[in-house]
Amino acid sequence: MCGTENTTLPSRRPAASNGTARSAPSPDTSSVINLDQGDPTMYEAYWRAMGDRCSLTISGSEAMSYLSNPKGPCWFLLPELEKSIRRIHRLVGNAAAEAEDGRYIVVGTGSTQLVNAALYALCPRDQPEPTSVVCAAPYYSCYQEVVELLQSKLYKWQGDAHKFNKDEPFIEIVTTPNNPDGSIREPVVNRPNGKVVYDLAYYWPHFTPITHQADYDIMLFTFSKCSGHAGSRIGWAIVKDKEVAAKMTKFVEVISIGVSKDSQLRAAKILGTICDDCQGANTKSENFFDHARRLMTERWEKLHEAVKRSESFSLPKYPKNYCRFSGEFFETHPAFAWLKCNDRVKDCESLLKAHKILARSGSRFGADPAYVRLSLLGREEVFNIFVERLSTIKIEISNGNGHHI
């Protein structure tokens, strides 16, 4: 992930071929815990409990060709995955994704690759100046890195969309629910010559009520945040315009000649199983979304409790809405906590680091460093150490400059 550095979080080294599940070692309660990265390992336990139902076996001779669907608009997209993607959106009701309605699917190596692909597809090649790319602050810290990586003449990073007031072509990225702060968003620029890319990575019913079926020109989703399978690097775009879909496909073709078919097969299987279970195929256990929403609800309750005990931080308030998927009213439970230190502390990241909690500073998101983003998607034991540690942090006035104990 952007800004990855050394971490003390244990990584799971998967078994090479025998399909057995090995648990990660538990972190020492005194060790540094890394909540900087949004690594969705909290869902491992659920998938482990599913046993062989989601196991995928690939023989040595399968999926060898570059080609998946040579006559389709995205020639490297496996038909199995396309089918599972359209099915899960139909079932959840979070996005219009029907082929009959002219919605094209483009698969990418994670949705990150598709942010690149969308910028490539939307920026004309014959313009004198690069197109401005903006996003309302606080914005996902990786967008700027992506836009600036290769110093392209096609586009340039222009930061906070609230401050954009030029009569020039622009692209606004709208992340909703937002990373880092979980807010529900709409475009803010609303000027002529603009195009909007919707990053809907978190618009799933474990994070937020599904209030409407999104139906925008370009919508990005990722397997990482839907089911927690970040290691597979599968993202997809739902695109209305055939030419834009073709250009995005071209980008992925030139930059990496398509997308891993092994991971496409795996995503097809797991998304399909989620759908099957939501439709009653598995009567023994909760479906994935119900399970994951319950976990997120529990974590947010523990987090609020810790913040209350500490008296040193605050969290955003989230509205309660009716979810068309679950048929219930509930609050957004974002994947990240957007935590603010009370007024005496200006640098929340340093404060937490002193307590062996690694977080990402608000400054990385175009916001005040009194904020940090903390991942709530880690393993249970790490999350529990985090809330326990957070609840004991007390900010006191020591010398009037906001130093903390």
Return the residues of window 356-385 that contact a second copy according to CB under 8 A: none
Sign of CA dihedral 332, 111, 375, 278: positive
Cα–Cα distance for residue pair 284/166, rounded to 1 Å:
57
Return the residues of window 304-323 that contact a second copy according to CB under 8 A: none
Given 30, 52, 192, 327, the residue binding a second copy (CB under 8 A) = 52
Q: Are 38 and 180 in contact (CB under 8 A)?
A: no
**Total residues in contact with a second copy, by rule CB under 8 A:** 97
Tell me the H-state helices in 212-287.
223-226, 242-256, 261-278
- What the block records as the tokens of 270 is 């797991």
Q: How far is the CB of 380 from a second copy (least distance, A)?
A: 14
Q: In what order do the strands lie in the sheet with 194-199?
A: 104-109, 234-239, 218-222, 194-199, 170-175, 131-135, 155-160
Given 25, 60, 192, 400, the residue binding a second copy (CB under 8 A) = 60
Pairing state of beta strands 336-341 and 371-375?
Answer: antiparallel
Return the residues of window 261-280 that contact a second copy according to CB under 8 A: 261-263, 265-266, 268-270, 272-273
Based on the shown chain and the rule CB under 8 A, indicate whether residue 4 belongs to the binding site for a second copy.
Answer: yes
Cα–Cα distance for residue pair 3/364, rounded to 1 Å:
10
Return the residues of window 122-161 that contact a second copy according to CB under 8 A: 125, 142, 145-146, 149-154
Q: Which CB, 86 or 229, lies closer to a second copy?
A: 229
Return the residues of window 201-260 that contact a second copy according to CB under 8 A: 224, 228-234, 251, 253-260
Given 27, 33, 68, 140, the residue binding a second copy (CB under 8 A) = 68
Based on the shown chain and the rule CB under 8 A, indicate whether residue 121 belongs to the binding site for a second copy.
Answer: no
Cα–Cα distance for residue pair 108/105, rounded to 1 Å:
10
Q: Which CB, 84 or 391, lies closer to a second copy?
A: 84
Q: Which CB, 14 or 102, lies closer to a second copy?
A: 14
Q: Which CB, 263 or 312, lies closer to a second copy?
A: 263
Based on the shown chain and the rule CB under 8 A, indicate whether residue 50 belongs to the binding site for a second copy.
Answer: yes
Q: Which CB, 146 or 385, lies closer to a second copy?
A: 146
Q: How far is CA 285 from the centre of its chain?
A: 26
Q: Which CB, 48 or 212, lies closer to a second copy?
A: 48
Q: Are 135 and 220 in contact (CB under 8 A)?
A: no
Q: How far is the CB of 195 from a second copy (least distance, A)?
A: 17
Sign of CA dihedral 86, 90, 93, 97: positive
DSSP conformation class of 16: S
Choose the stretch contacting a second copy; rule: CB under 8 A; options: 45-53, 91-99, 312-320, 355-363. 45-53
- What the block records as the tokens of 174 is 């709208």
Given 37, 178, 287, 332, the residue binding a second copy (CB under 8 A) = 37
Q: Which CB, 12 or 185, lies closer to a second copy?
A: 12
Cα–Cα distance for residue pair 159/162, rounded to 1 Å:
9
Cα–Cα distance for residue pair 70/278, rounded to 1 Å:
32
Given 30, 71, 101, 405, the residue binding a second copy (CB under 8 A) = 71
Cα–Cα distance for residue pair 313/319, rounded to 1 Å:
20
* Amino acid letter, residue 199: D
Q: Which CB, 80 or 331, lies closer to a second copy?
A: 80
Q: Which CB, 254 or 405, lies closer to a second copy?
A: 254
Query: Residue-wise over 360-376: b if at least 16 C-beta within 10 A, else e?
Result: bbbbbbbbbbbbbbbbb
Q: How far is the CB of 76 from a second copy (least distance, A)?
A: 9
Based on the shown chain and the rule CB under 8 A, indicate whether residue 78 belongs to the binding site for a second copy.
Answer: yes
Cα–Cα distance for residue pair 356/363, rounded to 1 Å:
20
| DSSP class per residue in 290-313 | HHHHHHHHHHHHHHHHHHHHH-SE
Choose the stretch contacting a second copy; rule: CB under 8 A; options: 68-76, 171-179, 276-284, 334-342. 68-76
Q: Which CB, 88 or 214, lies closer to a second copy?
A: 88
Choose the stretch contacting a second copy; rule: CB under 8 A; options: 108-116, 205-213, 317-325, 348-356. 108-116
